[in-house]
Structure 1
Amino acid sequence: MRIFFLVFFSTVFGNAFTQDLAFSRKIIDTLTSPPYWGRGYTNEGATKTAQFLKAQLESYGLKPLNQQSYLQEFYLSVNTFPGKMEVSLNGIALVPGGDFIVSPDSRGIKESCKLFQKDSLNFVNDENRIVLTIKDKLTWSVAQQTSENTQILVNRSAIQSLPQKIKLNVENRFIKSFKAFNVAGMVRGTAVPDSMIVITAHYDHLGGMGADTYFPGANDNASGIALLLNLARHYAAKPPRYSVVFICFGAEEAGLLGSLHFSQNPLIDLKKIRFLINTDLAGTGQEGITVVNGSVYTREFELLNRINSEGKYLPKVNTRGKAANSDHYWFTEKGVPSFFIYTMGGIKAYHDIYDRASTLPLTEHEDLIRLLIKFNSALMSNH
């Protein structure tokens, strides 16, 4: 009989987390699909994503933070590339995203001209303010301004001969005031509702480069959003002692702007936050996790590490110090105790077109969910 119950509970809880993994895969598949267009600033990618997340939080029964709205709007400037994205080098057409990317602050240009070698990696046409740079890996980002130049970054593997002639048809659009959103909701605590655990993740990515190429952003950060939504479902079904707040930030890739806006215009009392956990790059884990601020909040890090050791969840929990590398940063600056947790190992795709749902292993995704639930429970029991 004892063996029967052990098998029964193992099967039930194992299936529960299998469902969590299936749910995460569905969320990641959705957010990396063409309709959301890289969750950026063309084709309404970021706006559609915010509406999708609003609907998710509402469907779980979370309460909105912003009076009757789950959305907190803010504005930013951004350079975008919604149209033509054509580059030929020495008469050979290059493939956007794979063979080349445009520097995110580039101006648009339509031109055909010669290139002159500046050094082993850079070829220029000063008259037309064109720079071609050879790279071993193409990594894109987001710019809030437009340069006077057009820079084309070309994958070394696409270079068949010395760059001598280039033909460009690149369209940019600078948006001075783009409306973006943070998406936030709360599960009210059953015993100490004025104390809060806050779970955050950014939903934006790089968006599209031209009319035919977008950056899926599976690991960065559809994986973190999937983890956040899994926790939102969990706590909505089983409200804990403390209130749990969930915030999906916009415009992280543009400079942590969504979290900056929230920290300056908080919808909750920041002093009542017991702890904030920011999750980004939650899709691998073969080499464990790294905890930014682990060496700052040593008591909480020792607690997290002990729980991980006892539960044998992740192969390793690494610690590092303070860093302005994700949305936890502005809260740390406001005195809110915070961790930024990201997984290590596995695929190396990052800020490129290869960060896809189909190749994201989610190796330790379930165990990370388990670990965070246990960690939050321990934080709440110490009131």
Structure 2
Amino acid sequence: MRKLLIISIWLISANCFAQDLKYARKTLNTLTSKELWGRGYTKNGMAKAANFIESEFKSFGLQPMDGKDFKQPFMFSVNTFPDKMKLIIDGKKLIPGNDFIVHQASVGLKAKTDLEQKDSVNFLAASSRILVTLEDKLTWSVSQKVEDYTQILIKKSALSSIPKNIVIDIENQFIPDFSAANIAGFIKGTAKPDSTIVITAHYDHLGGMGSETFFPGANDNGSGVSFLLSLAKHYAKNPPKYSIAFICFAAEEAGILGSKYFTENPLIPLDKIKFLINVDMVGTGETGATVVNATQYPKEFKLLNKVNEEGQFLVKINPRGKAANSDHYFFTEKGVPAFFMYTQGGISAYHDVFDKPQTLPFTVYENLFKLFVGFNQSLMN
């Protein structure tokens, strides 16, 4: 029986993989495009990404999870940087994203002043409430609040000497009621429609920093959304025994807010979820993958490893314990059995402007696809 399962997985994958990889690449290019502007908080980026995902769900023939609408709207606060992003240090104009970033909780400011060195990496203009910090690597994020000072993080390699003078013109806009939406659809099961397997991924990223710089977010998490959509497309053509649902969450980068909202306002009874698998950053895989919650659900992790070993899909699947580091977390807290999987190896770009689609190898995409199909089939059996 097990051999027949593996053979059927291989046949399914062989017939559809080439087309699915082509679709995933095309989808990734769309999600990381300038038009979607980092799937964030300026230039309507997140809303455009939501509309794209909704249109894909509709084209596959998925049904809205609540029977009415694919979108589950909610609101939260966020600090944004929609326009001016100018920085000159000692007469040298620095490039946003490449040479410097503004701390995500900073207030906007226009000033010209001298800097006082406080230690080896921190420089202060106290009267203007400016803090300059030198970093080896620039990593951006999202803030739900605004501080009363402006912090600039500069890449050490962008400067030839310690900074002494700063010219700054940066605009921020705090939005207390930013509108976003989770996108949820499902395929009705052929034998046990009341039992549901859920695949999730967050579609938001960091958006833009100023009017000319955006963060593409290819691996984080264009890769996960592309993978999820490929699975949705596959299962729409091959309905499984259980119902299978697909949820793309907003506001993961702001504090896993979309999944928190969903678990507090579920569109399906949470006790109907047989298992949930969250994917984030699955565009690599040379050295294998890691599963968060593996120690929480040893039976399912053993099953996942068995499917992997028999199919020789991934080099290694590393177990990890409970962690509040992605959208699986609040489901686990509500008693829903869930894994969070991410791949490892390959590119090191993360929360920076270099996380681009052309650098993403999709190393184990085919085998990851086979692993998911096999694991889901095993759960249903």
TM-score, structure 2 as length reference: 0.97
RMSD (CA atoms): 1.1
Q: What corresponds to 2:271 in structure 1?
A: 271
Q: What corresponds to 1:80 in structure 2?
A: 80
**How far apart, CA to CA, are the structure 1 residues paired with 2:118 and 2:367?**
51
**How far apart, CA to CA, are the structure 1 residues paired with 2:10 and 2:196?**
31
Q: What corresponds to 2:238 in structure 1?
A: 238
**Does the alignment pair 1:280 with 2:272?**
no
Q: What corresponds to 1:164 in structure 2?
A: 164
| Shift in CA distance, 156/319, structure 1 to aligned 2, threshold 3 Å | same
**How far apart, CA to CA, are the structure 2 residues paired with 1:366 and 1:42?**
34
Aligned ranges 1:35-114 → 2 under 5 Å: 35-114=35-114
Q: Secondary structure at the match of 1:127?
A: helix
**How far apart, CA to CA, are the structure 1 residues paired with 2:70 and 2:13?**
31
Name the aligned partner's letter for residue 168 of structure 1.
I
**How far apart, CA to CA, are the structure 2 residues paired with 1:331 and 1:379?**
18
Q: CA deviation at 1:66?
A: 2.7
**Does the alignment pair 1:201 with 2:201?**
yes
Q: What corresponds to 1:27 in structure 2?
A: 27
Aligned ranges 1:251-270 → 2 under 5 Å: 251-270=251-270
**How far apart, CA to CA, are the structure 1 residues paired with 2:266 and 2:162?**
54
**How far apart, CA to CA, are the structure 2 residues paired with 1:220 and 1:366?**
19
Name the aligned partner's letter for residue 48 of structure 1.
K
Q: Greater shift after overlay, 364-373 or 101-110?
A: 364-373
**Does the alignment pair 1:347 with 2:367?**
no
Q: Secondary structure at the match of 1:304?
A: helix
Q: CA deviation at 1:19?
A: 1.3
Q: What corresponds to 2:4 in structure 1?
A: none
**How far apart, CA to CA, are the structure 1 residues paired with 2:348 and 2:100?**
18
**How far apart, CA to CA, are the structure 2 residues paired with 1:13 and 1:44?**
36
Q: What corresponds to 1:379 in structure 2?
A: 379
Q: Check whether the contact 2:200–2:247 (CA below 8 A) recurs between aligned residues.
A: yes
| Shift in CA distance, 15/67, structure 1 to aligned 2, threshold 3 Å | closer
Q: Secondary structure at the match of 1:186?
A: strand
Name the aligned partner's letter for residue 177 of structure 1.
D
Name the aligned partner's letter for residue 161 of structure 1.
S
User: How many pairs were matched up?
Assistant: 373
Q: CA deviation at 1:11?
A: 9.2
Q: Check whether the contact 2:10–2:370 (CA below 8 A) recurs between aligned residues.
A: no
Aligned ranges 1:83-162 → 2 under 5 Å: 83-162=83-162
**How far apart, CA to CA, are the structure 1 residues paired with 2:282 and 2:194?**
29
Q: What corresponds to 1:229 in structure 2?
A: 229
Q: Secondary structure at the match of 2:350?
A: coil
**How far apart, CA to CA, are the structure 2 residues paired with 1:355 and 1:13?**
28
Q: Secondary structure at the match of 1:190?
A: coil
Q: Secondary structure at the match of 1:305?
A: helix
Runs of 5+ consecutive residues of structure 2 not aligned to the other structure: 1-8
**How far apart, CA to CA, are the structure 2 residues paired with 1:350 and 1:10?**
33
**How far apart, CA to CA, are the structure 1 residues paired with 2:19 and 2:136?**
39
Q: CA deviation at 1:198?
A: 0.3
Q: Check whether the contact 2:291–2:340 (CA below 8 A) recurs between aligned residues.
A: yes
Name the aligned partner's letter for residue 181 of structure 1.
A
Q: Secondary structure at the match of 2:128?
A: coil
Name the aligned partner's letter for residue 326 of structure 2.
S
Q: Secondary structure at the match of 1:353?
A: coil
Q: Secondary structure at the match of 2:299?
A: helix
| Shift in CA distance, 194/357, structure 1 to aligned 2, threshold 3 Å | same
Runs of 5+ consecutive residues of structure 1 not aligned to the other structure: 1-8
Name the aligned partner's letter for residue 227 of structure 2.
L
Q: Secondary structure at the match of 2:274?
A: strand
| Shift in CA distance, 28/159, structure 1 to aligned 2, threshold 3 Å | same
Identity percentage of aligned residues:
56
Q: Check whether the contact 1:66–1:72 (CA below 8 A) recurs between aligned residues.
A: no
Q: What corresponds to 2:364 in structure 1?
A: 364
Q: Secondary structure at the match of 1:358?
A: helix
Q: CA deviation at 1:20?
A: 1.1
Q: Check whether the contact 2:105–2:144 (CA below 8 A) recurs between aligned residues.
A: yes
Q: CA deviation at 1:325?
A: 0.3
**How far apart, CA to CA, are the structure 1 residues paired with 2:191 and 2:13?**
26
**How far apart, CA to CA, are the structure 1 residues paired with 2:11 and 2:369?**
18
**How far apart, CA to CA, are the structure 2 residues paired with 1:177 and 1:12?**
45
Q: Residue deviations 1:92-141, cap 9 Å, x none? A: 00000000000000000000000000000000011110000000000000
Q: What corresponds to 2:299 in structure 1?
A: 299
| Shift in CA distance, 252/113, structure 1 to aligned 2, threshold 3 Å | same
Q: CA deviation at 1:15?
A: 5.3
Name the aligned partner's letter for residue 82 of structure 1.
P
**How far apart, CA to CA, are the structure 2 residues paired with 1:272 and 1:12?**
27
